[in-house]
Chain A
């Protein structure tokens, strides 16, 4: 069957009244849940799951999938407006999204993330349509050695996330890696740095760490400055909501690159949208001619990671549908839902159940289109949140942080983690340690250790496995290249500083 036939089947299936209705309901729930920080698609999907038992298989899966990818659209809103990352990939959106808000460009930022999200999803859906079985097989070639090397590249690139002192950026990464040690070691079952606290056996809750470092720290800083409102209400005009031609010109190429990275990462069941978002951000900053703009409201800094994280979520359907290997817990529920309806995901799924496969894929795209259409008019509304006087607004933010963090494990212990990381994040702000590299280290550290050690189990202790496996070797070479490329300017700057300092001492007689 060729692509056109497939699309024809798909559109006829996905444009039926029932399919459209469930698609709409799914993405709407997803979007709403995504806006609320902390509570993710997982909670919503698992709650709706029993309801879908009584639906047609296709309607059920269209709706559940819609919740999943729909939640990605909502996630950037709180990040951009309030520096409040509801999920880990959204922390990247905070980096330039929130500075844009501070400059009165919140509307533009939301507009751009909505469009780039759509672009990213669309590209990944095209991949899903054209190459799903091949890509599924490719994903299997990623073994622990490859994951380790890829994440090492990500970690090296993480230095690009910092602004200010490169040394502090590096310290933040290492601190994140150290924090990632907390919890039960997967390989040995040994508890590390848990102080006997049962809640710490699974490690520190990522959402709680992110909300503390970004959300709470920002609130503390704003209160300290006695901020009245985030932006001037009078500055909200229709024109201020719409990106300029210049913005779009800056945004589109990073969005495409982000989509590509996101699609690639999404295919791998062991990676996920956080890594996609972080990596695409790092890439844009590395290749930018004006890297200094990043972290200060660069349009590229939101368009790339948003495209990447949406593409990654959409591409994650590839291993789920072709291999029956879900990349995360939400995908696992989707898979369970398919099984309950007697659908077995496997490469032949495309030919054995063409109507279902194509209907599903086309509905993904329609769902994204609905999300685009739903989101644009809401931007003006979201931006109005910022006109609430800050001394009331921050109270609301605190409440949403509490409930959101609680909802992840239904455990108030995680609220305590938020407090601790709020304090840490606050001091990091004061002493200018960047939070994003810490988060990146925290996310990547445990995975890198796990894969490093498992790769050696696979190879029975042969370290050469990392170099001999071609994909892994290529990633290691790239990591080395990036490392050298980023060390050169640091060394050069250090030399120059030393020279300047010497000159200054000579001039000022102390």
Chain B
């Protein structure tokens, strides 16, 4: 079918007959696709642009990356959730807009309004300690915190954010009690850890690792399921005997009701893009673990996440 269409299109082009709208509508994609990145420019949008560039070669249409920041990404996510489900508007974001935000408040969209396309990356999110704590490894941290409940503080990018929830999930799994201190973004949390105001900080490898390499922070563990290739030396929680796997998912979504064929095409193009050397090298420089999972696997992971986040949010009194 696909090849027939290609032949038809080529024939149309050769004979100088413009491919009419009838053909364009049959064939996806036939016009530019928009990726909405729901954050301020500077980090995730650069990632999206880099991936989109390769995907666009794969799909044969331009991909426009738009920044639509606001409310932790939920403003942009709502825009995608409520846009036409035609496969031409996709969300490129952290999973928190799908599995955390809707539990906290009425956003104008729900979990079911977004259709997962595929997983792009799995963090890695790291747990790091300031220099000069009485613990230098994850095991020592757990032992110390068990003896001194509520003493060890951890800083995150905000109450109810993914890092906060993951921190709470980790401490529950490890049977310890940590003292949460929220910040406006991860940078001030890192500054506070450098200054010795907080003991632990949770953040993406791209923020934590440079400080670890400079000897200003001590990276203790990674939150993901398996050791990420960009930080192979750091243990996962499972490695330390704590039953918690809390990967920070970055992925792609389209509005619910988007034709399956469009979802498949996007997912396939993403898979191909993530396999290129260009993207692999890029991931290594910006310390992001690109890790493709197809629509089904990603959706399953999100559903699990959604349930566990709901439980923790309710326990913390942060659910609506």
Contacts and interface: CB of A to CB of B under 8 A. Distances in A.
Interface of A: 42-43, 45-47, 49-50, 140-141, 143-144, 184, 186-189, 191, 196, 198-199, 201-202, 269-270, 319, 323-326, 329-330, 332-333, 336, 339-340, 342, 344-346, 348, 409-411, 450, 454, 457-458
B301 interface: no
A198 B78 contact: yes
Interface stretch (B67-75, B116-124, B253-261, B265-273): B67-75
B195 A189 contact: no
Contacts of A344: 210, 213-214
Contact of A143 (B68, B74, B184, B192): B192
A318 B194 CA distance: 15
Interface in B185-203: 187-188, 190-192, 194-195, 197-198
Given A196-B105, A323-B216, A325-B187, 4 more contacts: A143-B192, A186-B182, A191-B105, A323-B191
B47 to A, nearest CB: 10
A298 B187 CA distance: 39
A411 B159 contact: no
26 contacts: A43-B41, A49-B46, A50-B46, A144-B192, A186-B158, A196-B106, A269-B187, A324-B211, A325-B187, A325-B194, A329-B40, A332-B42, A336-B206, A339-B206, A340-B286, A344-B213, A345-B210, A346-B216, A409-B75, A410-B68, A410-B69, A411-B70, A450-B184, A454-B181, A457-B179, A458-B198
Contacts of A450: 184
B99 to A, nearest CB: 16
Closest 5 CB pairs of A and B: A46-B41, A189-B159, A201-B71, A189-B160, A346-B214
Given A325-B190, A457-B181, A202 B214 contact: no
B46 A339 contact: no
B19 interface: no
Contact of B184 (A186, A196, A325, A346): A186
Contact of B43 (A186, A187, A332): A332
A47 B45 CA distance: 10
A186 B69 CA distance: 17
Nearest to A144: B197
A336 B46 contact: yes
B104 interface: yes
A326 B49 CA distance: 23
Interface residues of B, number: 50
Given A199-B71, A339-B206, A143 B197 contact: yes
Nearest to A323: B194
Given A201-B72, A344-B213, A410-B67, A186 B159 contact: yes
Contacts of A325: 187, 190-191, 194
Nearest to B79: A411
A451 to B, nearest CB: 10
B231 to A, nearest CB: 15
B66 interface: yes
Contacts of B11: none
A339 B71 contact: no
Nearest to B36: A410
Given A46-B45, A333-B41, A342 B75 contact: no
B76 to A, nearest CB: 9
B110 to A, nearest CB: 13
B181 A42 contact: no
Contacts of A141: 195
Contacts of A189: 104, 158-160, 182, 318
A339 B207 CA distance: 10
A188 B182 CA distance: 8
A17 to B, nearest CB: 28
A56 to B, nearest CB: 16
Contacts of A202: 69-71
Contacts of B106: 196
